[in-house]
Amino acid sequence: MTISLGPVLKALANDKRLQVLDWLKEPTKHFPPQVDGDLVEDGVCAVFITEKLGVSQPTAAQHLKALVQADLLIATRIKQWTFYRRNEANISAIKAVIADQV
């Protein structure tokens, strides 16, 4: 797998996106239980992330999209909702690439 650092660094250059990644390290600590989807296995509903960020839905959607495009998050659809969880395998690979190149 080849990792393109451009989208990753762009995604990580935003405090709100870093906050989302931090929250999703321990989703049960930072988010309430969900009716659909397991917080750990399926991820956190975009509605909860939007509320916790304190931004509008379109703004949150842009942040989440950037994190998905950078392969930092995995999006899963359940019913009409989208759930987000960290892509731990890619995050580890990205850390290794950054450590190697910096």
Tell me what pLDDT residue 100 has.
84
Average predicted confidence (pLDDT) for the chain = 92
State the average pLDDT over residues 45-63: 96
Cβ neighbours around 17 below 10 Å, total: 21
Number of folded domains that form the chain: 1
DSSP-derived 3-state class of residue 63: helix
User: At 58, which CATH number?
Assistant: 1.10.10.10
Rounded to the nearest 5 degrees, what angle is found at the Cα of 19, between the Cα atoms of 13 and 23?
145
Q: Structure pTM?
A: 0.91
DSSP-derived 3-state class of residue 2: coil
Residue-number span of the structural domain to which 64 is assigned: 5-101
Does 53 score more than 70 pLDDT? Answer: yes
State the average pLDDT over residues 87-100: 91
